[in-house]
Amino acid sequence: MPRRVKCRTFAAKLRRAAALSRRTPPTFERPALMKELLRTNNVVRLSWAQALLRDAGIDSVVLDHHASLVDGSIGAVPRRLMVAERDHDRAHALVAAAEQGLR
């Protein structure tokens, strides 16, 4: 009798696996290529640029943040602000215009 239960369990697992395999696979967007917008050790400037881009609806990512912290924040590894390649021109113009307004 225990063998039959084991076979039923195995058969149920097979049916479940077959049902899962019939599902359509999820579709994923191709990740956007990123371009460097800004490279700086100034965390205030970096935060300001991120807030400016966020208000304009442009997603950004900071790279090398942890590497910069590991080196003791001596400035050997500057942090990079990256934006999607499709948004780079607009982001660059936005940051340049805002910096010009600050001067």
Provide the CA 44 distance to its chain's centre, in angstroms. 21
User: What's the pLDDT score for residue 83?
Assistant: 94
Beta strands in the chain (DSSP E): 34-40, 60-63, 79-84
* 8-62 confidence digits (pLDDT tens): 666 677 677 766 666 656 666 666 789 999 999 888 999 999 999 999 999 999 9
* 57-99 confidence digits (pLDDT tens): 999 999 987 776 676 667 678 889 999 999 999 999 999 999 9
Q: Which residues pair with 84 in a beta bridge?
A: 34
Spatial neighbors of 12 by CB under 8 A, at least 6 apart, are none
Spatial neighbors of 91 by CB under 8 A, at least 6 apart, are 37, 53, 56, 58, 60, 83
Fold classified for 34-102: Alpha-Beta Plaits (3.30.70)
User: What's the pLDDT score for residue 60?
Assistant: 93
Single-letter residue type at 15: R
User: What's the pLDDT score for residue 22?
Assistant: 62
Single pTM value for the model:
0.65
φ/ψ of 5, rounded to 5, equals -60, -40
User: What's the pLDDT score for residue 5?
Assistant: 46
Q: Name the residue ranges covered by the structural domains of the chain.
A: 34-102
